[in-house]
């Protein structure tokens, strides 16, 4: 039998780094991976209190982890953070690129900073992390990378040209990395959430939410935990023959 370092349902003795882990989908991912036994490094840029709350929940549930605040758009800050994590845990087995922002607006009125900021965080930030962490995984000849994309990156979304472009780019990055890193037993996949409760949907009123729900075949919005469960699957030994894929968690919503 092939020696597989990944137990089918456990992440015990694995170290996971989750960017944008302070709230919403990121928080759910951190908690879910910790429940599975991973030591979880919670990243955030500005949400100190929210980040601490995520770590507190992990520890209250018997999990382990630590905080590592840094700006994913700053490649030097990323490299320093990765060095800090390695000095503490000796390795990074799992990387989840979840950090993201929105700067919505119609294309004709979109300002350069609104375009640049979204691309820098949602796409270039993931590139910085993948470049740094993949070097560690290549030496170990195993690893899991999961990039959090969006249905907007697959179908586009009016008023979100910057966000859609960044998420589409993230899907392309996922597929290219999967081909490049497969010979080193590093699996790279993307999870593409649909309409998920919390986060951006908090800005919508009930009438807007009802329109969204009416377009989802399951008739409801997803929960952050739905996305987190899919990430756990991709990080576990249950997904040993899956790489370069976009796993849609959208209640049947295909825009």
Alpha carbon distances (Å) from 161 to 13, 20, 152, 174:
41, 22, 9, 20
**Which phi and psi angles does 128 have, rounded to 5°?**
-55, -45
Is residue 191 a contact partner of residue 151, using CB atoms and an 8 Å limit?
no
CA 8 to chain centre: 21
Q: At 85, phi and psi to the nearest 5?
A: -65, -45
Q: Is 181 exposed, middle or buried (0-12, 13-18, 19+ CB in 10 A)?
A: buried
Annotated catalytic residue within 6, 39, 115, 163: 163
Report the alpha-carbon distance of residue 126 to residue 122 in Å, rounded.
7
Identify the CA nearest to 166 among candidates 217, 108, 206, 127.
127
CA distance 33 to 11: 7
CA dihedral (235, 152, 202, 118) positive or negative:
positive
163 as an active site residue: the answer is yes
**Rounded Cα distance, 50 and 44, in Å:** 9
3-state SS track over 24-61: HHHHHHHHHHHHCCCEEEECCCCCHHHHHHHHHHHHHC
Which are the catalytic amino acids?
163
């Amino acid at each position: 039998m092939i020696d597989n370092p990944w137990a089918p349902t456990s992440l015990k003795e694995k170290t996971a780094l989750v960017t944008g882990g302070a709230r919403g989908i990121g928080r759910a991912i951190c908690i879910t991976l910790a429940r599975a036994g991973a030591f979880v490094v919670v990243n955030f840029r500005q949400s100190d209190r929210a980040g601490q709350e995520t770590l507190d929940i992990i520890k209250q549930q018997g999990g382990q982890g630590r905080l590592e605040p840094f700006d994913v758009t700053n490649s030097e800050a990323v490299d320093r953070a990765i060095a800090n994590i390695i000095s503490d845990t000796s390795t990074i087995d799992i990387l989840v690129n979840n950090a993201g922002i929105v700067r919505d607006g119609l294309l004709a009125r979109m300002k350069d900073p609104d375009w640049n900021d979204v691309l820098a965080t949602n796409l270039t930030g993931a590139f910085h992390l993948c470049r740094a962490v993949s070097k560690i995984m290549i030496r170990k000849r195993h690893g899991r990378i999961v990039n959090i994309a969006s249905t907007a990156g697959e179908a586009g979304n009016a008023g979100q040209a910057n966000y859609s472009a960044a998420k589409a780019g993230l899907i392309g990055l996922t597929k290219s990395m999967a081909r490049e890193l497969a010979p080193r037993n590093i699996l790279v996949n993307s999870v593409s959430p649909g309409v998920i409760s919390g986060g951006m949907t908090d800005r919508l009123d009930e009438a807007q939410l009802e329109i969204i729900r009416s377009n989802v075949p399951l008739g409801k919005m997803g929960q952050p935990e739905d996305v987190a469960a899919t990430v756990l699957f991709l990080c576990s030994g249950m997904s040993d023959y899956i790489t370069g894929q976009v796993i849609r968690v959208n209640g049947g919503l295909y825009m």
